[in-house]
Amino acid sequence: MRKAASTSTTARQLGRLAGVAGAVVWLAMVTAAWAQDTVHLASGGRTGGRVIDYTGRQLVLELAGGLRRTIPGDQVVAVETTKTPQEADGDRAAARGDFGAALALYRVARQAEPRVWVRRQLTAKIVWCHRALGQLERACREFLVLIASDPQTPELDCIPLAWLPTPPPVALEQSAEEWIAGNQGPAVALLGASHLLSTAARPRALNRLKQLALGSDRAVALLAVAQTWRTQVATVAPEQLEAWQRAIETMPHRLRAGPYYVLAQGWRNQGQWEQAALALMRIAILYRRHYRLAGQSLWEAGQMLERLDRPEQASRLYRELVGDFSNTPASPQAADRLKELARTEG
């Protein structure tokens, strides 16, 4: 009997300890919840708490005492928050270029994520993956989901605009006709006009872009202006190209990749190979997330360097393209060119 009593007492003690341990774990989780989000500000400072919502217009932060602070969206540089294992694994897969795996992981993470503002960020990552995989129509559809949730999204740089002079697939062209004529907001109209510039609907698309360039959404207006440049690269004068360069430097850093590509096409058509190569290399160095555009830029920059009789520098770019952007359409071209240059040197 004494042994049984001792066992019962031990069980009760273990139960109490388990309860205390559970309370400690719960307290640690609550404490971590308050410390899990760090907001980096444009002023260079940072603040912490629990992000309630984050849109392009504002960020709402709940402080430890329950008070809420509202921060204008343009003052927020970045937000650090706790990631699920699926999102963290997705980030690692995307970093190594396995965009198919990253896409699947991000979809799982989004489905399980209770925070609306984090789901928006995951949607942006899904857009990036579809873009890298060359799945333009799917990228556009996911972007529509993002912009419907936040019309002023801080993730606007993921918008799958057309920068290469390639006609869109038929299904995407039909969708773009709906977007340009609809009332889903300036970002959606920009998306539609962008993909119609290489079609028979070019005049209407150009007219819509000019309207958007005068709109109140500054980020959309800047991208709309840069899209209109696509129609001028064959005839643009050097002094106008210099004006384009200055305009790009006034844009938010995250929006400059596509405009740099159009600028490079203008310099190339002027026979300014070095200027063209510099603009293209900016994309490859600074905007690697624009996976296919960065790969194409490396290929074209190598071509410019060959025109400048710098085959060794061109070869370095081709090797980088084959190694880091192996799943882009430009990669096989670069591999073939490396073989040709090796034979020439031999």
Instruction: State pLDDT tens for residues 260-296.
Output: 999 999 999 999 999 999 999 999 999 999 999 999 9
Buried residues in 80-93 as b, exposed as e (16+ CB within 10 A): ebebbebbebbeeb
Q: Does 218 have pLDDT greater than 50? A: yes
Rounded Cα gap, residues 39 and 79, in angstroms: 5
The band of 5, judged by pLDDT with boundaries at 50, 70 and 90, is: very low
Residue 43 burial by CB count (10 A; 0-12/13-18/19+): exposed, middle or buried?
exposed
Q: Where are the domains of the chain?
A: 33-82, 232-346
281 contacts: CB under 8 Å, gap ≥ 6: 297, 298, 301, 317
What is the DSSP-derived secondary structure letter of residue 168?
A: P
CB hemisphere CA count around 307 (13 angstroms): 14
What's the pTM value of the predicted model, to 2 decimals?
A: 0.87
What is the predicted pLDDT for the residue at 346?
61
Instruction: State pLDDT tens for residues 128-184.
Output: 999 999 999 999 999 999 999 999 999 999 999 999 988 999 999 999 999 998 888
Q: Which residues on adjacent β-strands are paired with residue 111?
A: none
Long-range contacts of 290-293 (CB under 8 A, 24+ apart): 290/131, 290/257, 290/258, 291/97, 291/99, 291/128, 291/131, 291/132, 291/325, 291/327, 291/328, 292/131, 292/132, 292/134, 292/325, 292/328, 292/329, 293/163, 293/164, 293/257, 293/258, 293/261
Q: Do domains 33-82 and 232-346 have the same CATH topology?
A: no
Top CATH class of 232-346 equals mainly alpha
- Min mean pLDDT across 55-59, 76-80, 151-155, 179-183 is at 179-183
Cα 342 from chain centroid (whole Å): 36
Q: Does 16 have pLDDT greater than 90? A: no
- In CATH, the number for domain 33-82 is 2.30.30.100
Token pair, residue 47, equals 């603040």
